Amino acid sequence: MTNEELRKRSREQDEYSADSIQVLEGLEAVRKRPAMYIGDVSVRGLHHLVYEVVDNSIDEALAGYCTRIDVTINEDNSITVVDNGRGIPVEMHEKEKRSALEVVMTVLHAGGKFDKDTYKVSGGLHGVGVSCVNALSSRMTVEVMRQGRKWSQTYEKGKPLAPVAPVGDSDESGTITTFMPDNTIFQTIDFKFDILAARLRELAFLNKNILLTLTDRREPAENGSSEEQAHLTENFYSERGLIEFVEYLDVNRERLTEKIIYINYDKGDVPVELALQYNTSFSENVHSYVNNINTIEGGTHLAGFRRGLTRTLKKYAEDSGLTSKLKFDINGDDFREGLTAVISVKVAEPQFEGQTKTKLGNSEVMGSVDVAVSTALTNYLEENPRDAKSIVQKVILAATARHAARKARELVQRKNVLSGSGLPGKLADCADRDPSVSEIFLVEGDSAGGTAKQGRDRRFQAILPLRGKILNVEKAMQHKIFDSEEIKNIFTALGVTIGTEDDSKALNTSGLRYAKVIIMTDADVDGSHITTLIMTFFFRYMKELIENGHIYIATPPLYLVKKGKAEKYCWSDEERDAAIREMAQGKESSVTIQRYKGLGEMNAEQLWETTMNPETRTLRQVTIDSAAEADHIFSMLMGDEVPPRREFIERHAKYANIDA
């Protein structure tokens, strides 16, 4: 190298580090307050990192340049995302004086700045930009295949180790991103196959004709126990998009109508795509998306959908004379009982509002969705009179049931007022009246309930025993649900009410009496069935409590390993084996193993120590990672079809191999 070249190189490196300093300020902010950028640093935030990277590849696919996205969980638990798009530009960025790739990777929100038309990064929750992922990774490498060459740059905690450099030739195009989440930032860096699979499946349905794959290269757990099974590769691909999404959501429900109603309306300003069908169940399962983001708080698109649906069906019902003899009104809810629908809109500049920033605020979207639904549904009803009649009859049935339910509900509420405190007789309440420090255990069976009552700290722990299996709400109509003693007890004990004059499903949680609602059942097949029933109830009737982090599952131990005076509680087979190995070393007296099948086998003190004492217990918080996936799973678990349920349970249940 000549002196001239050396000087040039040194000059470049100086400039390079000057740039990096400026960059660091932005990304340092992300590392200081990660939750502000990705929501939280728990399992959820961790998986958002992957979504962020994948979303960029999806954008490239939506621009028409990418057909395939491969996600791999590598052996070391890092993630690699490969796409076959055009590759992130690597050319000099005029203003920034460094490679465009480096700008994208190191400048906050730099994502779409340099190619406005084709590179529209999805806004909202995941739209924080891939630079955030970089900032929160201990190491990240991006390789770009473009124009015959392969380029690469590596970063640590968002900081480039060297400028973007060519590393070889390539006759392909695309982007390969590999990152290792920073374990000093995240509570856990263990990626869950099922969580990623649910999101990729959702993306495949929402964006047809893109092949998404997920591969797990980690070692399967030694004995293949519980969740950590050998997953190899799963492919997600959908040719019919939302139609297949609705089929997937409803696989375990009986359809009421012959065809899925499908609308793809992109004549207006806001492209609207939606699919819907009615089934014979009683729940409403409407999932809405804006730019591929699940808007769990709804918003203007959902309001437009409801308005269009209600108006169109109401008009059809009236014109057909089917509702003329009804003695009471039909309201909006009635049109959505047994309705499964997915609405997906693409909005150029989405305004997200609400607690979790998942509520669409753009007012212009309401009209677009309303028009799209009305137009398509009107045509459908005209062309399919048999289906139209089934739908109207279903709506009438829903209205009738709603009236019956209101009577039952009023009865419950009146009874509460009359019986003084209004709390169920079976409830052993806690002394403290401050909900923020109070917890309630929903306990299976009166006998375990008795032990729990003795074992608890009555200052802040309440016990509500439930009799055996609670009603399967997936299969029951609403008024039956309010007839159920156990379910009424849950409502009144929690201080939650449901239903107002104009919305029979509106939930009022402002009177919630406990910050933690803990489901405590036996560690066996029956116990997990009961847990599932209770969780289904919460998911369908008190979803807000799950979303706000109030629902927990207690984890009683599975074994007690004993030798002489030494005792160890164990929560898995591996723990048990380790305890046996450890205790067997002394050899004087023999090791005994007690398998706890039920809570009732523990005495009050043991139950307190292992399962109820906040200092020593482990609670599992119930969260919803994907509303659509949860809907699919609950309808399958609680539905009529046995084979899919058995398969699911065998794959996931911790207890299946012990008792079955």
In 419-477, alpha helices (H): 446-455
Who contacts 327 (Cβ-Cβ below 8 Å, separation ≥6)?
A: none
444 catalytic? Reply is yes
- Nearest residue (CB) to ligand 0RA, 87 versus 424: 87
Give the shortest CB-109-to-ligand 0RA separation in angstroms: 14
Q: Rounded to an integer, what distance in angstroms lies between the CA atom of residue 627 and that of residue 539?
A: 10
How many other C-beta atoms lie within 10 A of the C-beta of residue 643? 7
CA-closest candidate to residue 398, choices 302, 320, 317, 304: 317
Q: Rounded to an integer, what distance in angstroms lies between the CA atom of residue 110 and that of residue 96?
A: 11
Two tokens, residue 213: 């794959």
| Alpha-carbon distances of 96 from 18, 157, 165, 227, 625, rounded to whole Å | 11, 21, 17, 47, 38
Give the shortest CB-48-to-ligand 0RA separation in angstroms: 16
Q: What angle do CA 123, 125, 130 make, to 5 degrees?
A: 75
Give the shortest CB-217-to-ligand 0RA separation in angstroms: 21
- Nearest residue (CB) to ligand 0RA, 103 versus 442: 103
Question: What values do phi and psi take at 233, rounded to 5?
Answer: -125, 140
- Nearest residue (CB) to ligand 0RA, 150 versus 231: 150
CA-closest candidate to residue 55, choices 344, 195, 63: 63
Q: What angle do CA 270, 274, 276 make, to 5 degrees?
A: 155
- Nearest residue (CB) to ligand 0RA, 133 versus 612: 133
- Nearest residue (CB) to ligand 0RA, 57 versus 122: 57
- Nearest residue (CB) to ligand 0RA, 98 versus 394: 98
| DSSP state letters, 322-372 | TTTT-SS---GGGGGTTEEEEEEE--SS--EETTTT-EE--THHHHHHHHH
CB 206 within 8 A of CB 232: no
Give the shortest CB-548-to-ligand 0RA separation in angstroms: 34
Give the shortest CB-53-to-ligand 0RA separation in angstroms: 7
**H or E stretch covering 85:** none
**Residues making contact with ligand 0RA (CB under 6 A):** 56-57, 60, 83, 85-89, 115, 119, 175
Q: Rounded to an integer, what distance in angstroms lies between the CA atom of residue 306 and that of residue 219?
A: 47
- Nearest residue (CB) to ligand 0RA, 61 versus 599: 61
| DSSP state letters, 94-115 | TTTTEEHHHHHHHSTT-TTTT-
State the burial class of residue 565 (Cβ atoms within 10 Å of its Cβ: 0-12, 13-18, 19+).
Answer: exposed
- Nearest residue (CB) to ligand 0RA, 56 versus 438: 56
Give the shortest CB-57-to-ligand 0RA separation in angstroms: 5
- Nearest residue (CB) to ligand 0RA, 15 versus 172: 172
522 catalytic? Reply is yes
State the greatest distance between any 2 C-alpha atoms of the chain, in Å, as a whole number.
Answer: 97
Q: What is the CA radius of gyration of the chain?
A: 28
CB 518 within 8 A of CB 493: no
- Nearest residue (CB) to ligand 0RA, 177 versus 611: 177
CA-closest candidate to residue 18, choices 10, 29, 7: 10
Two tokens, residue 304: 């437009």
Give the shortest CB-115-to-ligand 0RA separation in angstroms: 4
CB 196 within 8 A of CB 47: yes
Catalytic residue, from 59, 333, 522, 629: name it. 522
Give the shortest CB-54-to-ligand 0RA separation in angstroms: 9
CB 438 within 8 A of CB 475: no
- Nearest residue (CB) to ligand 0RA, 86 versus 516: 86
| DSSP state letters, 582-644 | HHHTT-SS--EEEE--SGGGS-HHHHIIIII-TTT--EEEP--S-HHHHHHHHHHHHSS-SHH
524 catalytic? Reply is yes
Three-state SS across 470-532?
CCCCCCCCHHHHHHCHHHHHHHHHHCCEECCCCCCCCEECCCCCCCEEEEECCCCHHHHHHHH
Catalytic residue, from 102, 387, 526, 631: name it. 526
Give the shortest CB-122-to-ligand 0RA separation in angstroms: 12
Give the shortest CB-88-to-ligand 0RA separation in angstroms: 4
Catalytic residue, from 444, 486, 629, 631: name it. 444
- Nearest residue (CB) to ligand 0RA, 115 versus 318: 115
269 catalytic? Reply is no
Catalytic residue, from 83, 337, 439, 524: name it. 524
CB 359 within 8 A of CB 295: yes
* Overall residue count recorded for the chain in this entry: 660
Active site residues: 444, 522, 524, 526
